Amino acid sequence: MTELVYSNSLMAAEGERAIQKLMDLVNSDEEFILAVEGAIATKNDGLFNIIGRWQGEPLTALKAAKMLGEKAMHIIAVGACATHGGFSAAKPNPSGSVGLQTILPDKKVIKLPGCPTHPDWFLGTLASLLMYGEIELDRRDRPLLFYSTTIHDRCPRRTYFNQGIFAKKLGEKTCLFKLGCRGPVTRTDCPTRQWDGYVNWPIGADTPCIGCAQFGFPDQMSPFISFDTTEES
């Protein structure tokens, strides 16, 4: 069903032979899906971010993403750096990093925020595109299948929140809101899906959600852990 043509970390080929595979695809009439991990560095015409060499010249991520994005049948931004800059764009954003949409303003970019993105969010999106040709998105282009509901709405510790029983330290079994939990603003299915073989998730490990799948992460989600907010006022 799928053919993974180019993946820097998995592919056996290296050097220009690797880039050749990318170019062969661009120059063919074949349909393809572009999935991008990582932010696009914009400083110096993108020369801060080069993914390889082609015909002796550096190929920038900026150039490659534009070139492939123009021809791709579907475009998926995978992870916080690709959806909105993420950590690569954290203050003071030394590389001028932006998300994929910024450099492809007229294209539909499906966004899978998360640091990291859950493998199911990516594979589920890819499978939906391959099998049904589409996936239902919210206003910010996130698949509703995974991103429709806040963590807070489905949190197993919601009862503690409702009763005002708050943890003062990491490791406690009550509501982590006053330690800085971003569950109320973060839309993912972490509470029900869980991670890594579906065994656990951050709140299950007795730590607050840090909003890694919310736009604006990390700067708008920090500080991640605040011991101060548990002070009696």
Partner 1 sequence: MEKIIVNPVTRISGFMEIEVHVENNVVVDAQTKGLLLRGFEQMLVGRSPFDAVYFTQRICGICSTAHAMASSLALEDALHIQVSEQGKYLRDILHGCEFLQNHIRHFYQYTVPDYVKLPTVHPLDNEHDDYRLPEKINKRISDNYFKSLKVSRLAHEMLSVLGGKAPHNHGIFVGGIAAAATTDKIIKMKSLLQEILVFINEQMLPDAYSIAEYYPDYFKMGNSFGNLLSFGVFNHYKELGTLYVDPLVFTVNKDGKGGIIKPFNQKNLTENIDYSWYKGAKNEYTPTEITTTPDMSNPKAYSWVKAPRYNNLPYEVGPLARLWLTGEYRNGLSAMDRTLARAIEAKKIAEILTILLDSLLPNIFVQEKYEAPQHAEGSGLIDTTRGALGHWLKIENKVISFYQIITPSAWDFSTRDTNYRGTAEEAVIGTKIRDMKQPVELGRILRSFDPCMSCATHVYSPGHETTTIRIL
Which residues form the interface with partner 1 (CB under 8 A)?
3-15, 17-19, 21, 38, 41, 44, 47-53, 58, 61, 86-88, 90-92, 94-95, 115-116, 168-172, 195-197, 199-207, 210, 212, 218, 222-227, 230
Residue closer to partner 1 (CB basis): 135 or 215: 215
Between CA 6 and CA 21 the distance in angstroms is 7
Between CA 188 and CA 15 the distance in angstroms is 38
Residue closer to partner 1 (CB basis): 110 or 203: 203
Question: How would you classify residue 150: left for phi > 0, otherwise alpha for psi between -120 and 50, otherwise beta?
Answer: beta
Q: φ and ψ at 211, to 5 degrees?
A: 70, 35
Beta-carbon-side half-sphere exposure of residue 134 (alpha carbons within 13 Å): 5
Provide the 10 A C-beta neighbour count for residue 224.
17
Could you tell me the smallest distance in angstroms from the CB atom of residue 99 to partner 1?
15
Could you tell me the smallest distance in angstroms from the CB atom of residue 49 to partner 1?
4
Residue closer to partner 1 (CB basis): 50 or 165: 50
Could you tell me the smallest distance in angstroms from the CB atom of residue 172 to partner 1?
8
Could you tell me the smallest distance in angstroms from the CB atom of residue 14 to partner 1?
4
Could you tell me the smallest distance in angstroms from the CB atom of residue 67 to partner 1?
17
Residue closer to partner 1 (CB basis): 88 or 186: 88
Biggest alpha carbon–alpha carbon distance for the chain: 66
Question: Comparing C-alpha atoms, which of 217, 221, 222 is closest to residue 88?
Answer: 217
Instruction: Check: CB of residue 97 under 8 Å from CB of residue 37.
Output: no
Instruction: Check: CB of residue 107 under 8 Å from CB of residue 68.
Output: no
Residue closer to partner 1 (CB basis): 158 or 172: 172
Could you tell me the smallest distance in angstroms from the CB atom of residue 140 to partner 1?
22
Residue closer to partner 1 (CB basis): 44 or 159: 44
